[in-house]
Amino acid sequence: MTPATELAQGLHVLGIDLSHAAQNKLLAYVTLLDKWNKTYRLTGLKDPSLAVSHHLLDSLAILPFIEGKTLLDVGSGGGMPGIPLAIARPELGVVLLDSNAKKTAFLQQVAIELGLVNIAVHCGRVEAYRPVASFSAISARAFSDLGEFVRLSRHLLQTGGHWLAMKGLRPQDEMANLSVDVVVDAVHRLKVPGITGERHLVIMSSSQAQH
């Protein structure tokens, strides 16, 4: 099966309708990722044939749960889930944040080459990031445990906003150890075409208004 066919079928299973232009940009992104990965070690995925399922479809599986107009992708690495989400939702303002300068150089290059004007890239640590405006959603894929993710990015979440943490197994212990003012709004088990292991999305919010 070609990557284009795998992507189209996977999107259909996920119930996500994307234009051919958007699908082509997604495929162009994984091509760039594979090219740069040889030098920059952007992702641990050894087999490029798994890129559509493990990078694109895995990232897009959380698309139905993104609310609001802005998204901060913490520890974005090779750009997951931020870049696929930005391609799928051109009206969503996405900031990709990573402390690794080689990775942010790649992210900047992707945004330029694919004409993704809704993406901004920031190189630095999340706890030191002080943008002008806070975000309606903050995502992370395999960034840290839930408590650490919330603690480091708390100052960046809008009142009424949500944290979206992508996990493998359901992180029961991590959820039990969250601070009392953090609410687990939902835990969704994601069925991602082409991925056999468990995938979960933990959606959290703060019960305290941000000041």
Residue 162's Cβ-count burial label (10 Å; 0-12, 13-18, 19+) is: buried
Angle at 90 between CA 75 and CA 146, to 5 degrees: 25
| Annotated binding residue 80 | yes
SS3 137: strand
For the chain, give every domain's residue range: 3-206
Interval 91-124: pLDDT, tens:
999 999 999 999 999 999 999 999 999 999 999 9
Q: Specify the CATH architecture of the domain 3-206.
A: 3-Layer(aba) Sandwich (3.40)
Tell me the H-state helices in 96-199: 101-113, 146-153, 172-176
| Annotated binding residue 126 | yes
- Average pLDDT of the chain? 94
| Annotated binding residue 141 | yes
Supply the pLDDT for residue 210: 45
